[in-house]
Structure 1
């Protein structure tokens, strides 16, 4: 009997086992993106009890045990649940989940606005958005801790510029991420992640301490399933002519491919050219060449849109192809066609040892430029190795015209092209606790330029080449990290100049030269971490040989030690201190033999000097950060004092001002202070930001062979309050204060200039679909000693909002102000400008997002 029972049980067990099977599959959304952490369950069809369950991995894959007749249940947050019946011959499943908009809505309401996971802080963007917000920049500007430059899209977090900008974990935009900040539709962004102490190169995680912040943009699932597009534009009227504005944005995000396309054009004073600025240029060679030929134009960006008379077109293409988990290829192309005009009246006083020299001119300025930027980048970023090669070209064709009437009437035209090529190569390999790195950076900068001033002609041709190749290694020994770098840096600056129409008695007008340099350097460092302290001691040592074509050259040995200490006292408080002794490298661009006419008034003169500037500096800083309370504070104060072997000179020769350097020690010292504080105001859905910059410096220059000391102090304070008073009513108030003081003991004069700006923006709903927005600006500028100019501007915008589009009617500069006045202090000079601005304008605009 016992044998029969055992036999029956074995038969039942075999049947049960034979009825079980393994079900495999992958879960994706409608766009083909894998859905991770989806819950997979097998359910008894009769009792509805759960028999087995599992979760999908990062690639959306799953494996689960099931029996024929069971129900396979698939569910995930924000998606509609699916159920399948398990069959005996069930193949591998590809399950597509559809979004559940109802669930998404419920989650958005209940989700926490801020989540912290280790060094990553996640902000739910919908918590901070308000009526009228269209782009990522609009919303991010009111998130506590963030500061967004509305002109170029640059992002700062807790007072420090971000080091990397990612979309879905991929670096699509590179250094020109302003295009994304100013274009990404905010309603498609789910969260913004701040990655503190971010190290973009994975192999360096264990070898280098990073104090950088990066952000990663997480898009909503719907934005990854298809092309995301937006269209906006408008037409309008001004006192003389018409207005236009048109922008289109297209984005496609896939697991292995990303692309963003934009086209923007306008003549309404919107500076879309700034969005193409290179905001991240860390670890790249920079050309030392400066704008030797530069017309003294009125500032086109003084009042932002109010002072910019432009016609601008910008086209951009950004594409990223992920090859595998670690490697990707990026392509970026940006083209800008820009035309802008400016008109102003400038009164300038130059303080000289023979009295005050005054020039008052009416300036009419025109600039036409074409800029082409292209970059291709390959990157392989794995845990044990890193490989990157980045080739870029930046080409600018720039022409300027300036007509001056007054004390010294002149007509000027500048043809100022700049062609720059760069290549950056890096390879790193990790061997256990050792790291070996090889880097090669290269740059070529070519500037064939001409300036025409009345009957004068100035031509210069500059070629600059530089290469820097180094090998470095790191070794971790317990709490110590020993690092070292050995490399060679070499370059050449070739210069040709020809000035026609100026008397030879002023100086050498035609000539050519070359300056070459080679440097063999080593940078040893030791880093020690104990508990919450991090100590880093490093020293830059180099042997340098310089050769100017017009002399025999020189060789020098340089040494610059640096000490940095960081103490993370608590989760919120971090303290730092640093000290350094720096010996500045020789500037290759200062070596040239001729006079160069910069504009109708200023000339520059080169100097063949091999002495080096030495500077000592000390600084302390403190950072407080509590993201959950929306509080962040960053404070730093530093003192620098140095001894320059040269003194700046300014000689008045006839109608010209000749600027140069002369042999002779100049001692200087300066104080610098930076403060940034941000506090979120949760119950008002807003925040308060305060930023302060202070600089004080003592120095002197030589003017017509007489030593002239001068002291300067600069203070800039900006505070910004953004709140929601009641539902639908939003208020922004911004106060900006500037103070500049210049003391000139030799003349017994002190020039103080103060400026105040009050800016208020109010948005009020008139009904469910209609709202009114007002912008008020008040300026109180000191244009001369104790002489102030008050200016008042008022704008009104009526906004109609529907489901997929907005219509707005804007009436700008209602009081039709035609000019803006301000004062400036320069080295031993002060000036007052009265600049023409855009008058009254009427603009009808639309915004459409399918």
Structure 2
């Protein structure tokens, strides 16, 4: 018995030793080589660098390829060799990356070694100048959610700037101010060579960057800028990454325009735009000045626009000037414009980025118009007739400091901004030729936003955010002159506050994750308002606060192509308002909400979204004076302040999106059904004894249906791009004015097709049409009011390159307004020009308002109220511009 047991033990030992030898042999037969590839200048990872393990062969100088790997986003690579190379053999590692000098390193093996950790490899940028050649390559590449469009494949005679190039890419649209939309939605970020160095000023880059400096445009779909939230939150917005040619890096690039002309006087238009793009830093400089209205139409250098206030709204919103016609301001607004700014962004280490900037804008404007508006209310009709000669002078100083650390597990961001403004508005409102008023305002604000996100190894996410802000209005002076005397009103005020929020999310299974977020927003405000008299001195002071506290638990479920998100917000709304004499009230409400999103993607082409939501919010507008106007020649009509309204809605939204990148077809459609109800909870009039006309005192309820669509299709053989967007909205509600409830039915429809046709490279034609239709039906005190309005705009631009360096361009706009019962109006505008380009120099001549359209007149009725307006337009303008590109 003992001998049998001994034999069994020896047999088990032999089996165990054999198994260990087999495992050891397998381990020795496998070999891993690991390391990182970095930029020698800034030590940043070189994603996409290739690493090859080569064995030297006598008959082949290139050697024999043993293993191959590509570095990831962190520059990390890992080579796996099936069998460990022979010790006596000669091996080497070869490192290559486009734009860098290749590097080779010999490899020596240690006996019994199964894992080799190589030191970091630093590749130096290549200074080799390549001959300029024409390459016919694939126009579009895809990699995951990134689509790369090659610039040369989408350029033609009309492609001069980055904006022209982007407009030719399927799914992308560019507004006049440079704002880019992808599939009908604004992009979230614009990067230049992977660095977000220009912030909200990316419109300047889009409008001014010469297309000759661009090699490609990358569309980053569902872009998540926070690396710690990658695969945790999937945004809908896209981002763009602009790729530059090597010759335009590490040296200044830009343009300088000098223009002069005639328009019932001397006209000028100058623009200096420069960028310096490096691997570690980027700088943007912009100086623009003109009296042609181009800067006002396209927008200048922008930074933070002051404090990011919560939903409480503005403290004092004095209307500066009258409403203008629905035209570009360059056609009717006179004045001088100056905008200058400097912004610098710099990488700090592998994950950090610092951005700072400052800017100054100066603007003087003037316009002339005549208006007559008739408002129906509980006291009958109120008629306001004005002949307005308005002028404004504005000064704005802005500054911004932004820091960001964006790593895989940690995200820290802080943004500080400051805005100082001084506005002086003077409106000569002739009512019976003897009344006018003027407004002066000073304004200052600051805002500091801090964001912290931490992701643990287990996938749990913690976040914390704060937003501190404040602003003041030291002076707002409204004066009304009548005959030899006059009356005036003084306003001053301030408000400050902050927002604090935090959140936590964790994955409890492979498919399910849960989250919770909480937030606090508080604002304290104070302001004073004087009596209306010849020399006002005494101020009535008011103070108030807004307090919002929210808690929002949620969940996310993912299984293959299916994604479900849900959230259950609960918010406390508090508002207090009082003056120091008699009025004091308080509002407290706790309101629940919920929303649910279901998303399903099929084959990477189709995506279906279904959203169900219930919203219940307290709207607490704090506007004190919104539009001082003259009535009866001695009163100022104001809106009310201290109003509190509650608005509820049920929303069901369906969305379908189709995207075929290679064929150039992108389409989306959205339909929403909304059931809403709103009513005023509290209305406090701080302008006692004055006539008050307000839209805040209301109660409404009803059902609305909205449908919108977007289509972008590029037909490559014909080089044609078609964009089509449309929208239809129907609503049936009940509203209240002056205590009387009345039904309101409305239909709104809009359609905007645009076509870009390039039959040959030297000819480009762009055309777009915008048609809108509105029909309203009101029944007020057993009287029916019906009105309908048609508005159609058509524009066309033709660029014809007659010679290799000379082209002719023209654009035309046609506006047709069909207004019932007032009839219809027709307006024509056209611009034309020619330009000649020789190397870095360009000379252009343009004519604006070719038809010399002198006025714009419109009249329409919306329900019970009727409006009529007449505006003087600017005359024909001739402009000669000289451009130097560098």
Structure 1 length-normalised TM: 0.85
Q: CA deviation at 1:307?
A: 2.8
Partner of 1:764: 800
Distance 1:52 1:709 in 2: 83
Partner of 1:252: 276
**Count of matched residue positions in the alignment of Structure 1 and Structure 2:** 806
Partner of 2:17: none
The verdict on how the C-alpha distance between 1:190 and 1:290 changes in structure 2, with shifts beyond 3 A counting, is farther
Distance 2:307 2:173 in 1: 20
* SS class of match (1:106): coil
Partner of 2:388: 363
- CA-to-aligned-CA distance 1:569-611 (integer Å, 9 cap, x gap): 3311111111222111341516x7xx87623356334355656
Q: CA deviation at 1:130?
A: 2.5
Distance 1:35 1:672 in 2: 45
The verdict on how the C-alpha distance between 1:776 and 1:279 changes in structure 2, with shifts beyond 3 A counting, is farther
Distance 2:273 2:167 in 1: 21
Equivalent residues in 2 for 1:371-410, closer than 5 Å: 371-406=396-431, 410=435
Partner of 2:88: none
- CA-to-aligned-CA distance 1:752-785 (integer Å, 9 cap, x gap): 1212222121122333332221222222222552
Partner of 2:556: 527
Distance 2:719 2:187 in 1: 24
Distance 2:866 2:603 in 1: 48
Distance 1:824 1:344 in 2: 16
Contact 1:267-1:309 at 8 Å conserved across structures: yes
Equivalent residues in 2 for 1:650-661, closer than 5 Å: 658-659=693-694, 661=696
The verdict on how the C-alpha distance between 1:282 and 1:464 changes in structure 2, with shifts beyond 3 A counting, is closer
Partner of 1:546: 575
Q: Select which of 204, 208, 222 maps to 2:233.
A: 208
Distance 2:535 2:286 in 1: 52
* SS class of match (1:771): strand
Partner of 1:453: 480
The verdict on how the C-alpha distance between 1:499 and 1:560 changes in structure 2, with shifts beyond 3 A counting, is same
* SS class of match (1:401): strand
The verdict on how the C-alpha distance between 1:537 and 1:632 changes in structure 2, with shifts beyond 3 A counting, is same
Distance 1:275 1:675 in 2: 31
Q: Select which of 150, 169, 178 maps to 1:153.
A: 178
Distance 1:280 1:628 in 2: 40
Q: CA deviation at 1:649?
A: 10
Q: Select which of 472, 476, 486 maps to 2:507.
A: 476
Q: CA deviation at 1:115?
A: 0.9
Partner of 2:118: none
Q: CA deviation at 1:48?
A: 7.3
Contact 2:306-2:445 at 8 Å conserved across structures: no
The verdict on how the C-alpha distance between 1:410 and 1:385 changes in structure 2, with shifts beyond 3 A counting, is same
- Structure 1 range deviating more: 689-698 or 823-832: 823-832
Distance 1:707 1:383 in 2: 57
- CA-to-aligned-CA distance 1:629-653 (integer Å, 9 cap, x gap): 2111122121222222229999999
1:124 aligns with 2:150: yes
Q: CA deviation at 1:489?
A: 2.6
1:51 aligns with 2:63: yes
Contact 1:287-1:464 at 8 Å conserved across structures: no
1:573 aligns with 2:606: yes
Q: Which runs of 5+ in 1 are unaligned?
A: 1-23, 87-91
- CA-to-aligned-CA distance 1:682-733 (integer Å, 9 cap, x gap): 2233311112233333445544544444333332221111111334111111
1:437 aligns with 2:466: no
Distance 1:618 1:278 in 2: 37
* SS class of match (2:707): strand
Distance 1:60 1:642 in 2: 53
1:690 aligns with 2:731: no
* SS class of match (2:133): helix
Q: CA RMSD in A?
A: 4.0
Partner of 2:566: 537
Distance 1:217 1:753 in 2: 42
Distance 1:661 1:200 in 2: 39
Distance 1:551 1:194 in 2: 54
* SS class of match (1:182): helix
Partner of 1:17: none
Q: CA deviation at 1:100?
A: 4.8
The verdict on how the C-alpha distance between 1:466 and 1:671 changes in structure 2, with shifts beyond 3 A counting, is farther
The verdict on how the C-alpha distance between 1:777 and 1:460 changes in structure 2, with shifts beyond 3 A counting, is same
* SS class of match (2:294): coil
Distance 1:41 1:642 in 2: 67
Q: CA deviation at 1:405?
A: 2.9
Partner of 1:599: 629
Q: Select which of 702, 716, 729 maps to 2:763.
A: 729
The verdict on how the C-alpha distance between 1:194 and 1:824 changes in structure 2, with shifts beyond 3 A counting, is farther
Q: CA deviation at 1:283?
A: 9.3
Q: CA deviation at 1:257?
A: 1.1
Q: CA deviation at 1:72?
A: 13
Partner of 1:622: 656
Contact 2:641-2:683 at 8 Å conserved across structures: no
Distance 1:609 1:26 in 2: 60
The verdict on how the C-alpha distance between 1:236 and 1:169 changes in structure 2, with shifts beyond 3 A counting, is same
* SS class of match (2:268): strand
Q: CA deviation at 1:740?
A: 2.3
Q: CA deviation at 1:146?
A: 0.4
Contact 1:175-1:281 at 8 Å conserved across structures: no
Equivalent residues in 2 for 1:224-243, closer than 5 Å: 224-238=249-263, 240-243=264-267
Equivalent residues in 2 for 1:40-119, closer than 5 Å: 49-51=61-63, 97-102=126-131, 105-107=133-135, 109-110=136-137, 112-119=138-145
Distance 1:503 1:658 in 2: 25
Contact 2:157-2:763 at 8 Å conserved across structures: no
Distance 2:805 2:645 in 1: 69
Q: Select which of 834, 838, 842 maps to 2:870.
A: 834
- CA-to-aligned-CA distance 1:226-255 (integer Å, 9 cap, x gap): 1213112211111x2111111111111222
Partner of 2:19: none
Contact 2:651-2:674 at 8 Å conserved across structures: yes
* SS class of match (1:337): strand
Contact 2:860-2:866 at 8 Å conserved across structures: yes
Distance 2:736 2:416 in 1: 44
The verdict on how the C-alpha distance between 1:199 and 1:131 changes in structure 2, with shifts beyond 3 A counting, is same
The verdict on how the C-alpha distance between 1:762 and 1:618 changes in structure 2, with shifts beyond 3 A counting, is same
* SS class of match (1:211): coil
Distance 1:610 1:25 in 2: 60
Contact 1:359-1:407 at 8 Å conserved across structures: no
1:796 aligns with 2:822: no
The verdict on how the C-alpha distance between 1:45 and 1:100 changes in structure 2, with shifts beyond 3 A counting, is farther
1:182 aligns with 2:213: no
- Structure 1 range deviating more: 803-812 or 487-496: 487-496
Contact 2:37-2:46 at 8 Å conserved across structures: no
Q: CA deviation at 1:808?
A: 1.0
Distance 1:93 1:610 in 2: 63
Q: CA deviation at 1:360?
A: 4.2
* SS class of match (1:612): strand
